[in-house]
Each structure stands twice: as structure tokens, then as C-alpha cells.
Chains A and B, each alone.
Chain A
Amino acid sequence: MDKIADMDKYALWLDSFAGISIKQKFQLLDYFIDPKSVYEKLEPNYEYVVALLGEATYKKMLLSANEEYIDNLQNDLYEQGISYISRWSQKYPKLLASIKKPPFILYYKGDISLLQTFCIGIVGTRHCTHYGADCARNFARQLAENDITIVSGLATGIDTCAHEGALLTGKTISVFAGGVDVIYPSSNTNLANEIAKSGLIISEHKPHTATRNYNFPLRSRIIAGLCRGILIVEATYNSGTMHTKDYALSENRDVFCIPGNITSSASSGTNRLIRNQEAICTLSTNDIFNYYYITPKIKVLGESGDKVGGLEGQILEMLNNESINFEEIKSKLSIDAKTLMQVLTKMEIKGMIKKLAGNMYIKKK
């Protein structure tokens, strides 16, 4: 156990040098096998290290190869509420460790044990349609309800919806392309905070690292690596989502695709994947459950609402299968706008329903 903790520590040490690119770090690890040897055998391997990193970085590494430096790094992280694990840790998921270049360190905020759970990634375009947003939310919600952890990247569009859907009923992991404390896009700050609270945020980049677009494919590799399967909700043919798909296929993960309208550009990529038989055509969560031999929790329609009586019960009954407009609810219940507004707001506060744009209400859970 100590040895592992040691390894974590040295991984952190290795990752702390800004002068070494991710690629070089992997080269170092290939040569030295693990970070502890890098730390200990720096001087005997002077020539290799200088050839790879240059004299200046070598000196920096040598100077900081002491316990005090590492303690400071650890304290810094601790003060920011950020934890980390290395590839050599017990907590590091086996599935991720099996990919070609698994991240040798993961910084995280939240519940690290989620990495050991059954994960499905839900990814897709930033420019999603309503259809895509609804699908992402509903699939995420239903999968999460059955104890599947939803992994995504917190981008706008499909990613956001996937996280939101998952948070309604279960757990979700967000993989950042920058430091775990750099929320990108900033409009998702609330969502990210919520994920940190009840789910998990991970990143292979050290804190404060700005989100750069060249890191997105690296992030895709982690998402693909963490998950048993990837569900692509909506993606154009040359979308960044295709990186995730490529990684997933090359690492032997399953790729699920939700078909879309053939005239919709947002679905052009997913539809082609289905046609080329690269992905499994997914029409409902049952397709995913069946694929993995999971028996979904039996849900009897209307059952969840049976304890609620009165107006609220009637409204829940109505919202069982569809989203309904305010005026429609009003005319069906034949009550006045004032009372309905009160009831709906109370139900929303209680978390029974959610209001969507256009005065539409849907049932939560």
C-alpha cells in the first residue's frame, strides 16, 4: 500500500514540470517504467534525460527531486480541494489502464469510487437539436437510474444534457480537457459544481491548466477508456465526437448510435456510423441493457405518482408519458391560471416536475 502511495506521489512530482509535454512524460515512463524510478534514477540516466528534455529541465527536475518539494505540491492540491491518483493506484480503473496510453495521473474532485462502476459515455455535438438534447437527457436519466455511471465532457450541447439527465437519477463523471478547477464552458459552472458534489470530475491535466482544443482528443481517449460503451447521440461527420468513436473502436469499446433524421445535419455523422455498421443502432435504452445483459429496474407507469393525491396527482398522471403545455393542463383540469401556477410551482420546487421552455412541463424521474 505504501508503495502505491509512493507511486502516486512521484507521479505528481513528474507531472509538476511545465517544461515537459505529455508526450515526453510518456516517453520518460516508457524508458523508466514508473515515476519512482524517474525520481530516483535521474542522475545515472543523465544523457537520456538531457537528450529528451534539455539541460534546463533536467536541472530543474534534479533540484526538485526531494520530499519537501513533493509535500508542497500535495499541500497545494489539498488546499484547493483536489485529489489525485496515479496509474499504479488501486483506485485506478482497470478498464482505463488497459488502453494504449492511459493517463499516468488523474486529478479529481468528488467520489473517486465511481471509476470502478459500470460506465457508459454519452457524447455528441455541441450544436445539438432539441431532439438530441431530449435523447441525451432521457437516455442518461434511464441509464443512471439503473446504476450505470454516465461519463461525458461537460461541453455545451449533448454533454451538458447527458450530465443533467444523469444527475436527476444517478451518478455521472465529467472528464475535463483542462485542470479540474477550470470549468469550460463557464456557463456550466453550476452543473460542474453539482457534479463535483454528487459525482466525479477528473482530468489528466494539473490544476489551472487552461482548456485547449488540442486537448479535446486526449480527453476523448479518457472517456472512451473509462467506459464499456459509448453512446453517440448526435454528431456531424467531422465532429470531434468522431475522435471518441475512433478511440472507442480501437480500444474495443462498444459504440452505440441514436439514429436521427436523415435531413438533419446534426445527425449526419451518427447516421453514417450506423450505415457503415461501425455502431450499434440504438432506439431505446433497452437496446443497451439487452446488449450488456442488464435487467432494467421494472418501472410501472404511473406507480411513482400513486402516493400523491389531489391536483398534484392528477397533473403527474397527465405528465406520465409526455410533456404538456400550461394551457393544456389548465383546460384538462378546468381550474384557473392562478391556482395552476401555484400548484405547478410547488411541484417544481418539490422536484416532481420540471418546466421547459415554451411553458412545457415534464415529469422528473
Chain B
Amino acid sequence: MLAKVKSFGLNGIDGYLVEIEIDLNSGMPSYETVGLPDTAVKEGKERIRSAIKNSGYKYPIIKITVNLAPADTKKEGSIYDLATAIGLLMASDQVNCERASEFAFIGELSLDGSVRHINGVLPILISAHELGIKKVIVPASNAMEASFIEGTEIYAVYNLKQVVDFINGEITLEPLKAQSYESVLKEQTYTNDFKYVKGQSQAKRALEIAAAGGHNVLMIGPPGAGKTMLAKCFSSILPDMTFSEALESTKIHSIAGILDNKEGIVTTRPFRSPHHTATLIALTGGGANAKPGEISLAHNGVLFLDELPEYNRRTVETLRQPLEDGKITIARNKMTVEYPANFMLIASMNPCPCGYYGSPTTPCRCTPSQIYNYLNKLSGPLMDRIDIHMEVDGVTYSELKGDNVEESSADIKKRVNKARKVQLERYKDDGIYSNSEMTPAMIQRYCKLDDDSEELLKEAFETLNLSARGHNRILKVARTIADLDGSPNIQLEHIAEAIGYRTLDKKYTL
């Protein structure tokens, strides 16, 4: 007898419907899976057999053929266990076929019949919703992330027996109650708050500008100056995530299996800091299964690259395209997937190989050419995508112990949110969200300078030997500074301040 069950597979961050067909034929008892299954799918037969047996049902001792349609797409993982088991029980008349066909099933089976956690539930449910599938059965441990989908009846289950009983009408289950995003988006507390960072007023100001305009930042400073601390605090001043942003991030985190099961949704902007030994694939995503990389996990958040020159140069250069497009396309022979990767890059580096160039306390042991070469490790095209360079210098003991009350992240965030609102309003017809995304045409339109500012900028280029590629960067940053100031036009002060954040455009070494 033939049974058909609905389930879902994942391609990148999108789910697609997989129809599982189970046919029982007379012949030597066997179990065959077709439809390009990977090893995890094939091994499912052992889990399914034990789970059915241990849940008190009868495993049909007969020739079993399982087809995962569409048959030409690679199927991966243990996601189809539950659906296949139900299909087997349908084919062997142990489950009400008519009712079972109303549902889609996702979940991994344990040998004892319990339903285990899987990755990627949220993207699957979103596509289920789009495909008009009304009822989905998911593992109970995925309940939290599943509960943000409205308009689909989602049932969270613990074991196979519960599913079968529910379908056969022996027990009733309540669908999950949809949660509102606002209820989860409680007053967030950050362990890393700017109020704990003493001194560093210049760096904080630069980060505030970066957060407000979505600018990428490069921090330069000696070891122990607090670059990492500043970067960690950075996510606390970023504007709150909107629901759609949160969903996007959650999708990616769900696929990668790093979603917090208690939260169920990503509510704080991700902060990813891969170590500098990270490979190209780890950063951009890929591998045989085209998994999302660090840059996609940092989507809508911050990618922090500590000690930027220590990274493999090729690895860092791959960031160029995603920094421009906000997404990355990974092509592998089995599949081509596109992951969003709209992140802010915060990078930090020492000014020289020994780390102490410019430090007032520790003498630097490097020669000028060493420093020059060290700074030159960063390619021009990459530097082109970084709007703000700033120096972070070590904090003195008195500053550290001083009673100065530092501004809290919440206060800074208020200003950032305000400046973002101004930008959203300005760019509502342009299809961008922040100043950093402005194209040259938009810069001409929105960054008009008065004569004085124009003169200052010209003079700056002449006297400070700024490189030409800095010109548009300065205008973009100046636009953000003006927005923070609530000024409709860029003024002299804004340009002056923006020029100050182009350290590496000037001659830096001795």
C-alpha cells in the first residue's frame, strides 16, 4: 500500500516541501530510500524501526521503498525521521491516513520513540505558511522558535506515540499560542555597557557615529587599550531589531543550530567574533552542505575581527563583496545558496607588529618600515569599505579609578535611534536604510556642502595629504554626524569632526 506524507527540507535559509512516499511491496524484507538521501537520512531507517517498535507499534516486515520527492534534490539530516515513521504506520494501516495527510511533520526520532530537536524549524515554518500548509507537527524542544509564526496551527510533540494518538483522535493537543515579538523584546540588559568603560571618549563618540550611520569601523591601538571591550559594548548601542530583522537572523541561527532554545528568537543584534585562525569557509560559509558562515551569523549585527592583520589575507578579502552587497552567494556542486550577510564590520588592530607604536608607556620596538608594512597588510579595496578609523589609546590609572560617571549605553542608544529615524525618513524612496549605504549619486544629493565646508575639505586634502578615496567616506560620516546633531545640512563642524576619523589616510608612521 502507498502512503504520502508532507515534510520539509532546507535550501539555504528557505524551506521547500518534500513529499515522502512510502510503498510496501511483497518481497524480501528490506528498506530502501531513494531521492538523493545523505547518510543521515539513510541511517534513519534504524531509528525509525526502533522508534516504531519501542512505541508499541508494528514495524512491517516487508519490502519498504521510501521516496523523497522532488527526487533530484539532495536531502540531508534527520529532519525526515518523524514523517517517514508516520508514513510507514499509514502504509501499514496503523494511523488514520485521511487525517494524517492534513499535517506536515518535521523532527528526528530517538530509538525510544521520542522526538528530538532539529535545526532550521523557523525557516521551514515560514515556507510552510507561504505554501498554505495549515497544520505542522514539530518537536517540543523547537516550540519556542515555532511560536512566532501566526496563521499556522503548530503542534509541539514529545514522542511518536503522542503523534499517532493525536492523529487517530485518541488524545487532543492544543496548537501553540502565537507569541508577539514585543512581549519577548523585554527591557534588554547588556553585560557590556559603555558606562563601565572609563575614559575613551573619542572612541565612544566614534562608535556612536558608527552605530547611527551603520559605518564600518577600524580601531587601532596597543594591546590592552580596550579595543575588544569597546567592540563588545558596541552592540548595546545599536538600534533595536525590528521583527522582520529578528526573523531573518533567527532563520540563519536556526539553520546553524546556535539558536537559544529558551528565547526561540534572536532579539539582540548578533555579535560574532571569529578568531583570526578562522578559515575562509568558516567566515563566508560553505562546505559540502553550504552552511552559513560567521558573516551570515552576524547578519543584522556586528562582525568583530580582532587583530585584523593577523587574519589570512585571502580570508579577509572575501569580505569585500558581502560588505558591498549585504549577502553572499555560495555555489557548491550540489547546490547554490544565498545567505544574507548585512553586518557592520568592526575591526581592530595594533599599530605595529610589537603593538606599542604611539604608546606613551611602552616603547615600540618596530622599525618604520615594519610599521609601514604592517599597516599595508590591509588592502586598499578593503580599507575603502571602512568609513571610520580611530585610535584607541591606553587608559591611565587615574582615568580608570576616576569618579567620572560615564554615559550609559541606553542614553547613547536613544541618540542613535533618533539619528536612524532621520535616515529612514530620508531614504524611504531610495531603498537603503543608513548613510553608509549611500551611492555616489545619493552622496551628491544628500551631502551638499556650503562654501566654508567645501573650502575646509579642500584644505584638509592639501595639508593633511588625505588620500582621494577618503573623500566620500568623509562626506558619509559627516552626514551621520549632522543627523546625530539634528541638523538638516552638513556644517563646517561636522566635516571637521569627520576628517578626524580618517587616521590611516594621513601619514601614520614616523
Q: Find out whether the CB atom of A325 lies under 8 angstroms from the CB atom of B496.
A: no
Is A156 located at the chain interface by the 8 A CB criterion?
A: yes
Question: What residues on A are CB-neighbors of B463 within 8 Å?
Answer: 348-351
Q: Does the CB pair A356–B205 fall under 8 Å?
A: no
Complex contact B496–A326 (CB within 8 A): no
> Which among A127, A129, A349, A355 has the highest number of chain B CB atoms within 10 Å?
A349
Interface status of B204 (Cβ within 8 A of chain A): yes
List of B residues within 8 angstroms of A355 by Cβ: 503, 506
Give a binary string over A341-363; 1 marks a CB under 8 Å from any B CB, 0 the rest.
11111101111000111111000
Query: Which residues of chain A have C-beta atoms less than 8 A from B169's C-beta?
Result: none
- Interface residue B367 (Cβ < 8 Å from any Cβ of A): yes
B202 adjacent to A345 (CB under 8 Å): no
Contact B499 A128 (CB under 8 A): no
- Choose one: B368, B391, B459; the contact of A358 (CB below 8 Å): B391
Find the residue from B202, B222, B499 having the highest chain A CB count within 10 A. Answer: B202
Residue picked from A157, A187, A341, A344, most chain B C-beta under 10 Å: A341
A330 in the interface (beta carbon within 8 A): yes
Given known A161-B510, A349-B456, contact A359–B393 (CB-CB < 8 A)? yes
Residue ID in chain A nearest B370 by CB atoms: A127
Interface digits, B496-507 against A, CB 8 Å rule (1 contact, 0 not)? 110111010011
- Point out the residues of chain A lying under 8 angstroms from B496, CB to CB: 341-343, 345-346, 349
User: What A residues does B391 contact at CB under 8 A?
Assistant: 357-359
Q: Is the CB of A337 within 8 A of B204?
A: yes
A337 touching B202, Cβ below 8 Å: yes
What is the distance, in angstroms, from B391's C-beta to the closest C-beta of chain A? Answer: 5
Q: Which residues on B sit within 8 Å (CB–CB) of A30?
A: none
Closest to B459 in A: A349
- Chain A CB within 8 A of B470 CB: no
Q: How far is the CB of A49 from chain B (nearest CB, A)?
A: 44
B residues near A325, Cβ cutoff 8 Å: 360, 393
Residue among A128, A187, A337, A356 with most chain B CB within 10 A:
A337
CA gap between A356 and B509 in the complex, in Å: 8
Whether the pair B499, A357 counts as a contact (CB closer than 8 A) is no
By the criterion CB–CB under 8 Å, are B368 and A128 in contact?
A: yes
Flag whether B43 is at the interface (Cβ < 8 A): no
Contact B393 A358 (CB under 8 A): yes
How would you classify the secondary structure of chain B's contact residues: helix, strand, loop or mixed? Answer: loop
Let me know if B506 and A327 touch, CB within 8 A: no
Once the chains are docked, how many angstroms separate the CA of A337 from the CA of B221?
A: 18
Per the bound structure, the CA–CA distance linking A357 and B357 in Å amounts to: 7
Task: Return the CB mask of B349-384 against A: 1 if under 8 Å, else 0.
Answer: 001000001111001100111001000000000000
Whether B202 contacts A341 by the Cβ 8 Å rule is yes
| Interface assignment of A290: CB less than 8 Å from any CB of chain B | no
Residues of B within 8 A of A68 (CB): none
Residues of B within 8 A of A160 (CB): 368, 510
Which chain A residue has the least Cβ–Cβ distance from B506?
A355
In the complex, chain B residues whose CB is within 8 Å of the CB of A342: 493, 496-497, 500
Contacts A345-B499, A349-B499; is A156 near B368 (CB within 8 Å)?
A: yes
Instruction: Return the contact of B500 from the options A133, A185, A187, A341 (Cβ within 8 A).
Output: A341
Q: Are A345 and B369 interface neighbours, CB within 8 A?
A: no
Question: Which of A133, A325, A331, A357 has most B Cβ within 10 Å?
Answer: A357
Are A357's CB and B493's CB within 8 A? no
B21 to chain A, nearest CB (A): 67
* Contact partners of B190 in chain A: CB under 8 A: none
Interface string of B4-19 (1 = CB under 8 A from A): 0000000000000000
Contact A358 B357 (CB under 8 A): yes
Distance of B508 from chain A, by nearest CB (Å) = 6
Interface residues of A in 30-58 (CB under 8 A from B): none
CA distance A190 to B506 in the complex (A): 12
B393 partner residues in chain A, CB cutoff 8 A: 325-327, 358-359
Q: Is B30 an interface residue (CB 8 A)?
A: no
Proximity bits, A116-148, B CB within 8 Å = 1, else 0: 000000000011111001000000000000000
Cβ A327 vs Cβ B358 within 8 A: no
- Kindly state whether residue B335 has any CB partner on chain A within 8 Å: no
Q: What's the nearest-Cβ distance from chain B to residue A146, in Å?
A: 24
The reply to whether A330 and B201 contact each other, CB–CB distance below 8 Å, is yes
The docked-state distance in angstroms from the alpha carbon of A113 to that of B391 is 42
B142 within 8 A of A: no
| A128 x B510 contact (CB < 8 A) | yes
In whole angstroms, what is the CA distance A28 to B360 when docked? 57
Cross-chain contact B493 with A130 (CB below 8 angstroms):
no
For residue A338, CB closer than 8 A to chain B, the reply is: yes
Instruction: Tell me which residues across on chain B come within 8 A of A128, comparing CB atoms.
Output: 367-368, 510
- Say whether B93 faces chain A, with CB atoms less than 8 Å apart: no
A157 interface neighbour in B205, B351, B368, B500, Cβ under 8 Å: B368
CB of B78 within 8 Å of the partner chain? no
By beta carbon, the residue of chain B nearest A129 is: B363
Complex Cα distance, B363 from A99, in Å, reads 41
Alpha-carbon distance between A340 and B205 when the two chains are bound, in angstroms:
11
Q: Given the complex, which residues of B lie within 8 Å of A130, measured CB to CB?
A: 363-364, 510
B388, chain A: closest CB distance, angstroms: 12
Is B199 interfacial (CB 8 A cutoff)?
Answer: yes
| B460 contacts A by Cβ under 8 Å | yes
A residues less than 8 Å from B358 (CB atoms): 356-360
A127 to B509, CA, bound (A): 13
Residues on B with beta carbons closer than 8 Å to the beta carbon of A346: 456, 496
* A349, B460: Cβ atoms closer than 8 Å: yes
A358 close to B360 (CB less than 8 A): yes
Q: Is A336 an interface residue (CB 8 A)?
A: yes
Within 8 A of A (CB), among B476-510: 493, 496-497, 499-501, 503, 506-510
Inter-chain contact B367/A126, CB cutoff 8 Å: yes
Docked pose: A215 CA to B507 CA in angstroms: 29
B200 within 8 A of A: yes
Is the CB–CB distance between B357 and A327 below 8 Å?
Answer: no
3 closest cross-chain pairs (CB), A and B: A358-B358, A357-B358, A337-B201
A-B contact pairs, 25 of them (CB 8 A): A126-B368, A130-B364, A156-B369, A160-B368, A185-B369, A187-B369, A327-B200, A327-B393, A330-B201, A330-B202, A337-B202, A338-B205, A341-B496, A341-B497, A342-B493, A342-B497, A348-B464, A349-B456, A349-B463, A349-B464, A351-B463, A355-B506, A356-B358, A357-B351, A359-B202
Task: Please name 7 further chain A to chain B contacts, defined as beta carbons within 8 Å, in addition to the given A127-B367, A128-B367, sorted by A numbering.
Answer: A185-B369, A327-B199, A345-B500, A350-B459, A350-B463, A355-B506, A357-B391
Interface set of A (CB-CB < 8 Å, partner B): 126-130, 133, 156-157, 160-161, 185, 187, 190, 325-327, 330-331, 336-338, 340-346, 348-351, 355-360
Residues of B whose CB lies within 8 Å of any CB of A are: 199-202, 204-205, 221-222, 351, 357-360, 363-364, 367-369, 372, 391, 393, 395-396, 399, 456, 459-460, 463-465, 493, 496-497, 499-501, 503, 506-510
